[in-house]
Amino acid sequence: MDKIKQYKNLSMTAELDNNLATETELLKQRYQKFFKASDQVRWTLQSTNATEEQIEQDYSAVAEVEEDMSAVLALAKNKREEYKRQLDAEFQDQQRKDERKREEDRSKLLHDLLTQQQQVLQHQQAYTQQIQQLIAQNQATAQIAAAPAPVAAIPAPQSTRLPQRQIKHFKGDILEWTSFWESFNASIHSSTMSDVQKFDYLKEYLKGEAYLCVENLELTAANNNIAIAELKRVYAKPKALIQTHLCKFDNLAPVKSITDVSALRKLQLTVQSHITALETLHLHTLETMPQRTSWHLSPVQTPTAISW
């Protein structure tokens, strides 16, 4: 017990924790032997007609040992629990450091991708300007060299009937809501047909999760506006759109080789697509992006230059 008491003011380590566990187990074994021996002593005292004072002294001695044993075992338990809490705190601190490092790596990767995208766009813009200048020069030369031609009679424009546009069914993907609503609004909701007809068409073009929002609404004129309001409440949420676009970054497939131009091009176009969508939602810079707790964008080796 004295050995275990020495641990009271010690700072626990892995070695001390193992030693304390060993000492505790040995103490329990010795206590079992003491307990059996005390029973034998008590039986001997009773069988030899010992005095009440002797028996009382034996009880007191045993009780004192039991009290000391309980205190020592409690001390050992507290020290081991204290060391476990210390290990848990160190583990959580290391996890936080690792998470911060992963966030920094992901931010750097995204920043590098954005920088490369900007460089590619700048080269494309410069090339487009050169082509436009050449076209303008050729047109000017052709106008000077060409003789004036008689103005031909311009036939009266004929009305052209455009094919009816098909509206894609909306199944509940929040990224497809804006496209669906604009098409439905232009073709049906803004038309002169009755609200009942509009609601009937709306139900027809909703599928899956989206249809559950209006499934139990009866086909009445009043329920048309109620159904649209409910769909906008569920799907027309800029913050949810931003979160969904950011989650798409988590699922980007890593490019395993910097020589895989096709995969790099696909990654670039995918990233740019989400960036453009985020810009339309007024999320322009990395600093304004919401804090994420669980990005899993697989890092790839970023080339210093890309040729398409």
Q: What amino acid occupies position 239? A: K
pLDDT at 304: 41
Determine the Cα angle at 62 with ends 59 and 67, to 5°: 120
Instruction: Report CA-CA distances (Å) from 224 to 138, 192, 230, 233.
Output: 57, 14, 10, 14
Q: What is the pLDDT of residue 274?
A: 73
Q: What is the gyration radius of the CA atoms in the chain, in angstroms?
A: 40
**Torsion sign, CA atoms 308, 250, 113, 290:** positive
Closest CA to 277 of 133, 137, 156, 177: 177
Q: Where does the chain have alpha helices with state H?
A: 2-5, 14-47, 52-145, 177-184, 195-205, 208-212, 221-235, 238-250, 261-280
Nearest to 197 by CA among 212, 207, 211, 187: 187
Distance CA 259, CA 268 (A): 14
In this predicted structure, what is the pLDDT of residue 297?
Answer: 39
Q: Please list the residues that pair with 206 across neighbouring strands.
A: 170
List per-residue pLDDT tens for the chain, 308 residues long.
787 877 878 888 998 889 889 988 888 888 788 878 878 787 887 777 777 777 777 778 888 888 888 888 898 889 889 889 989 998 999 999 999 999 999 999 999 998 988 888 888 888 888 888 888 887 777 666 665 555 555 554 454 444 466 788 999 898 899 989 999 999 999 999 999 999 999 999 999 998 999 999 999 999 999 999 999 999 988 887 787 878 877 777 787 777 778 888 888 788 877 787 777 766 654 444 455 444 343 444 444 433 33
DSSP state of 284: -
Q: Where are the domains of the chain?
A: 2-98, 168-236, 238-308
pLDDT for 153:
52
β-partners of residue 170 are: 206
What single-letter amino acid sits at 234? Answer: V
pLDDT of the residue at 102: 93
Q: What is the pLDDT of residue 222?
A: 93
| Residues 190 and 202 sit within 8 Å (Cβ to Cβ) | no
Q: Is the torsion defined by CA of 81, 84, 86, 89 positive or negative?
A: negative
